[in-house]
Chain A
């Protein structure tokens, strides 16, 4: 039996960003989506459960507010997570966490985790798709004082030990670590499945619990540093050739590139 907590980020939906005329991203009015590689974290948890048994819990903190605008979106996403095969979802909602940093997120998540009891394994995605700090796994491990291994592309369980392959820029590292431990997985570790209709129906009866910071008995000051997000301006010529004779298009393109001075005639 392996009891697993998956760490899931309710990310900004990158396909539905609300952008103001001055280029600023309006996070309050942007919808949420599950962070891409957290799907891989959930899938890996399900595979471990299928093989070894145990329970899978999803923990999350809503870090994009205001809560009243985001809550139904967050619940919808967490229902989808439950439909995938997660047994329970627990999440923290508090306006203090709006646009906070991984410091506050990890403190909030760690207190939720402690409240929920003991886990053998914590699984996160390698990086969130919106903010990409990749700090949460190491921070959670530090707070809970347990080992961490990131960018895992293969998990094997042997007794109480995990045998993990890490994807590093220059190669593959194999490490062994006893549980409990925190790991993050790459986007390539597995192919996340889609839920069946039956699972979607069942998900409605699974526990989906909300907590404020007060419920968790913690007090956070998330005002230390706030970020302002702007869209990077793209200034490109956008000369697009479509239809017609490919020989002619190729010649035009070559002429363009010679004129730009990026290829030499």
Chain B
């Protein structure tokens, strides 16, 4: 079976995240096309039969309109893309034009002879949805970043520049980068999570001290970053931001909303500190302490120091 695949990513740095899936989907003689922004990265250039680059930043609608033409001209069966805010929007827009169903953020794919079974997180992360589709069905799928293996296909790519750029009524008026924490919470062995149990920004120091003695970093629930702006967005853990898998996650003053918990489910050990003994987070914890964080954290931090010295 020949199945042509179109892999798209606005950001070329993550496009290879979708190549693993593309390669599974393509069958015996399908081609893998890539569409992205200009890059010199050879690992990207060698992963596609043909790759089409835009030299400038495009508005999502402009990408989508390019893809709509491309899709038709190249007899595409599957549209695949790494899941980012803009990629998901763009693929949804294209899918609507061709009445394609679309699976957003598929965390696994299983080849089941005549069908494919995709899975994805739902219910704020408490549930998994299994979706079975006939292989003959045309569809789109976005895949989370850092879940599938990164592969190298060593192809001789045909490289083309996108020259015909569609008009859009949207004009970009600027981009203000927000400051980053400088930490990579996705790779940290120990993460201390800060929630609304902290009463002020200054109090975060208590969690920082704990993270420091454990050689770890701090992270937070959505309101701490998005509502209060106490911490940068790259420390926000959960379904709408970072998924982490540390050896040790310590949730402090976090209630355990599914959307947060879905970002920590794969941690090896979870510890919860919360003053409410009925807090949901305890259900997800290996070890829990029902206590006021203001009393407990300083003691806990000191105890760890003492034990490390021994």
A residues contacting B by CB (< 8 A) are 12, 14, 17, 25, 101-103, 106-107, 126-127, 129-143, 147-151, 163, 167-178, 181, 186-188, 224-232, 234, 236-243, 246-247, 249-251, 253-254, 256-258, 260, 262-265
Contact = CB atoms under 8 A, between A and B. Distances in A.
Interface of B is mostly: mixed
Interface stretch (B18-26, B39-47, B281-289): B281-289
B129 A171 contact: no
Consensus secondary structure, chain A interface? mixed
Given A176-B170, A232-B265, A103 B102 contact: yes
A229 B123 contact: yes
26 contacts: A102-B102, A107-B99, A129-B124, A132-B239, A133-B104, A134-B89, A135-B95, A138-B90, A142-B97, A147-B169, A148-B93, A170-B234, A171-B176, A173-B176, A175-B171, A181-B169, A224-B133, A227-B129, A227-B131, A231-B126, A236-B285, A239-B287, A253-B271, A254-B300, A262-B268, A264-B308
B122 A14 contact: no
Categorize the interface residue count of chain B: 35 or more
B88 to A, nearest CB: 6
Given A14-B124, A143-B96, A238-B286, A173 B137 contact: no
Interface in B29-61: 59-61
A147 B265 CA distance: 37
B93 A232 contact: no
A254 B89 contact: no
Given A14-B126, A264-B308, 12 more contacts: A12-B123, A134-B88, A138-B96, A142-B93, A169-B84, A172-B176, A175-B173, A177-B171, A232-B128, A234-B284, A236-B283, A246-B291
Interface stretch (B74-82, B146-154, B195-203, B240-248): B240-248
A225 B133 contact: yes
Contacts of A140: 96
A240 B273 CA distance: 10
B303 A17 contact: no
Nearest to A253: B287
B27 interface: no
A237 B173 contact: no
A265 B104 contact: no
A103 B101 CA distance: 5
Nearest to B170: A177
B144 interface: no
A127 B291 contact: no
Among B96, B177, B239, B304, the one with the most A-chain Cβ atoms within 10 Å of its Cβ is B96
A256 B248 contact: no
Nearest to B172: A175
Contacts of A126: 240
Nearest to A145: B97
B123 A173 contact: no
Given A14-B258, A138-B90, A224-B133, A237 B227 contact: no
